[in-house]
């Protein structure tokens, strides 16, 4: 019984951490797919946002073109394309405070350690991915 509890605890911890090495490999693949479809890679918002996302735990739940636990970045960009300029501030606030209900009932964990500026940079990167 103790072994089962230990295995479940370790598995839970690994899942909550995002797997570490998997994050880097997934980020590179997502970056390559994005660069082929749209040449926005020279945009400073793209470069800075991608770097911030690569250092965070975002890729544990999100991918560029595929729904994982949360929506794909491209789906987010397409949903909010053409909305007001305040959407960057609004979405940055959602990243920092977390929430649920917009994309289903799965909770997006808060990222309170992020600055407002960093979260906005991440949102600007995501918005560049719209089709």
Q: Which domains does the chain have, with CATH numbers?
A: 19-127 (1.10.760.10)
> What is the model's pLDDT at position 83?
84
Extract the tokens encoding 14.
């690994």
Average pLDDT, consecutive stretches of 10 residues, N- to C-terminus, the chain (131 residues): 54 49 49 56 93 96 95 95 90 94 91 96 95 85
Residues in the chain: 131
> What is the model's pLDDT at position 28?
52
> What is the model's pLDDT at position 14?
53
Q: Among candidates 41, 93, 49, which has minimal Cα distance to 58?
A: 49
> What is the model's pLDDT at position 23?
45
């Amino acid at each position: 019984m103790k072994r089962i509890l230990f295995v479940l605890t370790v598995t839970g911890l690994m899942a909550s951490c995002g797997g570490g090495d998997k994050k880097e490999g997934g980020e590179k693949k997502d970056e390559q797919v994005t660069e082929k479809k749209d040449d926005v890679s020279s945009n400073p918002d793209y470069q800075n946002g991608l770097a911030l996302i690569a250092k965070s735990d975002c890729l544990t739940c999100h991918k560029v073109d595929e729904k994982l636990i949360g929506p794909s970045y491209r789906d987010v960009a397409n949903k909010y394309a053409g909305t007001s300029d305040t959407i960057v501030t609004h979405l940055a606030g959602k990243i920092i405070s977390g929430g649920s209900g917009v994309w289903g009932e799965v909770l997006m964990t808060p990222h309170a350690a992020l600055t407002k500026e960093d979260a906005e940079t991440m949102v600007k990167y995501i918005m560049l991915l719209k089709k």
